Amino acid sequence: MEIRLVGVVGAGQMGNGIAHVFALAGYDVLMTDISEESLTKALQTIEKNLERQVSRGKVLAADKRAAMERIQTTLKLTDLGKCDLIIEAATERETVKQAIFEDLLPHLKPTTILTSNTSSISITRLASRTDRPEKFMGFHFMNPVPVMQLVELIRGIATDQETWDTLHEVVRKLGKTAASAEDFPAFIVNRILMPMINEAVYTLYEGVGSVKSIDESLKLGANHPMGPLELADFIGLDTCLAIMNVLHEGLADTKYRPCPLLTKYVEAGWLGRKTQRGFYDYRGEVPVPTR
């Protein structure tokens, strides 16, 4: 099965990164979102990130120009029906993802592969709401997409071998590494990463350490490039909470109970870098811990 035209649903942080790497690898990309402003901002972000790669000698200027020319945008979700592969990269809410796939279904080619960039939601359940569960997979990129080398490939219970083989080859052409994950809550990376972040929030909540001491301890004591609370702000506290809820509900184990302090920050709208406040306040020149 040959993939030439790739549809990306969602032009946010993950969507524009996915469009970036596919266009750079030679695929034609059609990206959609609900607002023209989001699409314009995404194209600006892609161009800025490609220019950064050019300045570092990782990408040729000619390849940057060619990549930008391969990316088209549309406000009509149904325009993606002609794509060979569609990657849904909308918000981490199952009802939103289901609605997107339901709207797409009448317009798809019979051979179109559907995928979701979900970081935790059941692939089998999402696939079951479509007319092609055998051509449905989890296609989970890491953030930031142009930098991170891993892609988690998650089979649903009905995913066929041809679909698996096709996406494995796509990952290879992107110059990334595929990790095969079974369809259980949060897959591999977030099954391990999110409880660590949640435990760091509990450590703050219980007064064991401050934001600064917790992050410094993991950076200097465990050689992590970023502290867990700093990383949570980068990911988005709403996303962290959503994944912890999926783990807690899906595995029914109290060790995955989201920390009440994480819930409180999300209730306050302090979601991290994207809202300028989370465990750090980013409104000044230097991030300042909020606790």
Question: Would you please indicate which residues are annotated as catalytic (active-site) residues?
Answer: 119, 140, 152, 190
Burial bucket for residue 256 (CB in 10 Å: 0-12, 13-18, 19+):
buried
Q: What is the rounded distance in angstroms from the CA atom of residue 213 to the CA atom of residue 217?
A: 6
The CA distances from residue 75 to 78, 106, 273, in Å, are 9, 17, 27
Do residues 77 and 48 lie in contact, with contact meaning Cβ atoms separated by under 8 Å? no
Residues 142-159, buried b or exposed e (16+ Cβ, 10 A)? bbebbeeeebbbbbbeeb
DSSP state, 85?
Answer: E
Burial class (CB in 10 A: 0-12, 13-18, 19+), 195: middle
Neighbours of 216 (CB within 10 A): 13
Q: Nearest 5°: CA angle at 92, between 86 and 98?
A: 55
> Do residues 139 and 113 touch, judged by C-beta distance below 8 A?
no
Asked if 82 and 111 touch (Cβ cutoff 8 Å), the reply is: no
